[in-house]
Amino acid sequence: MQQETICRGRFAPTPSGKMHIGNALTALLGWLQMRRLNGRYILRIEDIDEHRSRGELVDELIRDLKWLGLDWDEGPGVGGSFGPYVQTERKALYEHALAKLNEARLLYPCYCSRADIAAAASAPHGLASEGRRYPGTCRHLTKEEAQRKELHKKPSLRMKVPKQAVAFTDEIAGHQIYALEKSGDFVVRRADAMISYQLAVVVDDALMGITHVLRGADLLDSTPRQLLLYEALGYKPPHFAHVPLIVDAEGKRLAKRNRGLSLSFLRGQGIQPQRIVGWLAWTAGLISSPEPVSPSELVQSFDTARITPEPIRLTHTALKMLFTPLPTLQ
């Protein structure tokens, strides 16, 4: 008799700023998804970019999650058999993956600077998360040319992308098709030896047995690159669901510098966590009005099909619903 697969999801924040309501929405929806599926919810700290990450924010992040009523089955403070649950403690795993990709001749050294790429005539903007398209300058360097360049500059490592498009179906955004060739070969290790997000997240999710990735819509266009890495490394990809971003009235995404919408600020204003949870569930389309509710009360009715795929605008009315006690929508 075949053993039933246990669903595994995760919340994987970067501790580079205070947790705001956009982060809280992703954390809440991921928690609801796993609790609805009787799965396991993992907390992983993505601090691979040590220049941006701040260790003292991890404790604050954990406090914010607990205050909202969210718990996790594996991760910091809990442990688990798939750790470590902090990226800076997993560097050997990333190096092993790089070696495997290199053996398959899927990587090559790149000596270009950002200025070189920006100056290239054939370099329009690529994927939003990666900046301009890489024109392939170093892809066909001879061994001798590469050795000469390395005398002057440490290279990054780039992953070769295929000519064929990558297609996948997202639980919220629907069917997606991306021509990776239009965005160019992408970096998997920077010139300063820092592992890229694209590689680290694939290795972490695969080795932690993650079956469902629920994250912000800003990472939707990273998915085809990650699917390419899953295939190259011999990993089975998870199901993807990209939830809407919370944006300001002009449509600009929230940043961690928006302190007025951080959970610590809202808590300091005396706003109860049940009000925030209810407001988040309402903005995402899970409930009809922003009434106070605990996460556990939302589990049985949770369905990704109910989540709006459109960005959530922080209009005056929406903010009033958060800051002013109103029992129902008018």
Q: 297 pLDDT exceeds 90?
A: yes
| Rounded-to-integer distance, Cα 40 and Cα 176, Å | 27
**Crossing angle for the helix pair 91-103 and 223-233, to the nearest 10 degrees:** 70
Which part of the chain is CATH 3.90.800.10? 91-198
DSSP secondary-structure letter at 215? E
pLDDT given for residue 50 in this prediction: 85
**Of 116 and 183, more confident:** 183
Query: 67, exposed or middle or buried, with CB in 10 Å at 0-12, 13-18, 19+?
Result: middle
What is the pLDDT averaged over residues 55-74?
Answer: 96
Q: Which residues are annotated as a binding site for L-glutamate?
A: 10-14, 46, 197, 215
For domain 91-198, give its CATH number from 3.40.50.150, 3.90.800.10, 3.40.50.620, 3.40.47.40: 3.90.800.10
Tell me the CATH architecture of domain 8-88+202-323.
Answer: 3-Layer(aba) Sandwich (3.40)
Q: Where are the alpha helices (DSSP H) in 52-196?
A: 56-68, 91-103, 114-119, 143-150
pLDDT given for residue 127 in this prediction: 57
pTM for the full predicted model: 0.90
Q: Which residues are annotated as a binding site for Zn(2+)?
A: 110, 112, 134, 138
Per-residue pLDDT tens for 221-271? 999 999 999 999 999 999 999 999 998 877 777 665 555 589 999 999 899
| Rounded-to-integer distance, Cα 277 and Cα 29, Å | 10
Q: Which residues are annotated as a binding site?
A: 10-14, 46, 110, 112, 134, 138, 197, 215, 256
Residues 6 or more apart whose CB falls under 8 angstroms from that of 169 comprise: 175, 176
Q: Supply 37's token pair.
A: 């599926």
| Rounded-to-integer distance, Cα 275 and Cα 292, Å | 4
pLDDT given for residue 126 in this prediction: 46
Per-residue pLDDT tens for 298-330? 999 999 999 999 999 988 888 888 877 544 333
Q: Which residues are annotated as a binding site for ATP?
A: 256
Span between the terminal Cα atoms of the chain, in Å: 54
